[in-house]
Amino acid sequence: MNEIEEAQHDAGHEIAAAGDWLTGAERVAVWREARDARTNVLDQARRTAISPNAVDGEHPATAELSAPAMEVVHRTASDPGRLTRRWAEEQISVLGEEAYTESVGVTAIVAVLDRFDRAMGRPERPLPEPIGGEPSRVRPDDVGDVGAWVSQSTGPTRANVSRTLSLVPTTNRTWRQLVDTHYSRGAEFMNMCWEFALSRPQTELVAARTTALNECFY
Amino acid sequence: MSGEANELTIDLEAVLDREHVGDVGIPASAELLAFTNAVELGGDIDAARAALADAIGDEATLQAAATIAIFNGLVRVADGTGIRLDEGVFTASVDEREALGINRFAGAASSADVRARATESEPSGPVVVADLFG
């Protein structure tokens, strides 16, 4: 197993355990719903509509996730490029910004694992069994309004993208490990002529096309 | 950035044109774009992956899959948390964003006041991709 696959293995295990504000069962349910979004009728109707708001309907609550939590997971998984501040504020007003952020973070993490498997022609990995335990429910001291939709670390940072999940440190650790092994590669990130099998320009090409296809402004 | 460092002339417009799967000035770009499009838009992923592996090898192909995967996560944390474009990037990419149609993406609204500040002050924050994950 290489370091990419090791990081994915670790991430899958960490998703099954309690996080910052969500239990292991809730986090595994996020994975299940994020995966369902690929074929979900409502999600696909919204995704192909001129505006997602033009499509009536909502995702009903499940045993693990409330209706707003379902909305966050399904929209983030299926149509992230058209999320708006107003939409986020509606969800946050019910869920709280910590649970909202963790739901977004877990959705992003499982998107990495599932997309990698699809790209490599591998079967979907089975959802893990949830691990018991309670979320830490610790809000970091150094977070505040830095202009994003949710509180983020206010300390020095090179870029806003590096602090997206700083409100939920347990989830952020898993996320940052994936970013480091899959893309940024520690100090090598500063090297525009790195020696990895996929060259730096080839890496940026794939990154740029993927981002464009997802209509991500950032 | 990495194109200049590697002495490549890259066609950025073609990179961001979803219909384009040919050469953009980077070795194996046609195979890389075909693979990325197949994974993201739906297509014959197995055939695209095999063609890519023939062009750049198995290890590089796995790294390409990892790059597609992590950027699926990155767009979701960026758009889901509503981060603003960093001022340095914003200021340094005005012409490119306009020319490439990036400003039409819904996420541009999150950076509306960065646009206002950028016209009033010197740029700060990252200006190149290498600054992003320090």
Q: pLDDT tens digits for A139-196?
A: 999 999 999 999 999 987 778 888 999 999 999 999 999 999 999 887 777 778 788 8
Q: pLDDT tens digits for A102-145?
A: 999 999 999 999 999 999 999 999 999 999 999 999 999 999 99
pLDDT band at B9 (very low <50, low <70, confident <90, very high): confident
Distance in Å, alpha carbon of A183 to nearest chain B alpha carbon: 6
CB-based contact A104:A72 (threshold 8 Å):
yes
pLDDT band at B134 (very low <50, low <70, confident <90, very high): very low
Which of the residue ranges A152-161, A194-203, B9-18, B117-126 would you say has the lowest mean pLDDT? B117-126
Task: Give the DSSP letter string of B61-97.
Answer: HHHHHHHHHHHHHHHHHHHHHTPPPPHHHHHHTHHHH
Out of B3, B77, B84, closest to residue A104 by CB: B77
Q: Which two tokens stand for residue A154?
A: 């206010």
A210 contacts B36? CB cut-off 8 A: yes
Contacts of A178 (CB under 8 A, 6+ apart): A7, A8, A11, A109, A112, B70, B73
Residue carrying the six token digits 């099998």: A197
What interface predicted TM-score (ipTM) does this complex get? 0.95
Contacts of A14 (CB under 8 A, 6+ apart): A170, A174
Q: pLDDT tens digits for A63-99?
A: 999 999 999 999 999 999 999 999 999 999 999 999 9
Distance in Å, alpha carbon of A134 to nearest chain B alpha carbon: 24
Chain centroid to Cα B73, Å, comes to 13
Contact residues on chain A for B69, CB-CB shorter than 8 A: 111-113, 115-116, 119, 182
A209 contacts B75? CB cut-off 8 A: no
pLDDT reported for residue B91? 57
Q: Residue A102: which of A112, A92, A93, A114 has the closest Cα?
A: A92
CB-based contact B7:A201 (threshold 8 Å):
no
Residue B129, pLDDT above cutoff 70 = no
Whole-angstrom Cα distance, residue A138 to residue A21? 8
B129 contacts A161? CB cut-off 8 A: no
- Give the percent of chain A with pLDDT over 70: 99
Beta bridge partners of A152: A144
Whole-angstrom Cα distance, residue A160 to residue B134? 11
Closest residue of chain A to B93, computed from CA coordinates: A218
Interface test with A, best of B15, B49, B81 (most A CBs within 10 A): B81
CB-based contact A207:B32 (threshold 8 Å):
no
B134 contacts A189? CB cut-off 8 A: yes
Whole-angstrom Cα distance, residue A160 to residue B110? 12
Whole-angstrom Cα distance, residue A183 to residue A194? 12
B10 contacts A198? CB cut-off 8 A: no
B1-5: long-range contacts (C-beta < 8 A, 24 or more apart)? B1/A192, B1/A204, B1/B128, B1/B129, B1/B130, B2/A192, B2/A193, B2/A200, B2/A201, B2/A203, B2/A204, B2/B129, B3/A201, B3/A204, B4/A192, B5/A192, B5/A193, B5/A200
Distance in Å, alpha carbon of A29 to nearest chain B alpha carbon: 18
- pTM of the prediction? 0.88
Contact residues on chain B for A196, CB-CB shorter than 8 A: 60, 63
Residue B118, pLDDT above cutoff 50 = yes
HSE-CB for B130 with a 13 A CA cutoff: 14
A207 contacts B2? CB cut-off 8 A: no
Interface test with A, best of B83, B86, B117, B124 (most A CBs within 10 A): B83
Q: Residue A191: which of B32, B90, B8, B1 has the closest Cα?
A: B1
Q: Which two tokens stand for residue A63?
A: 């045993």
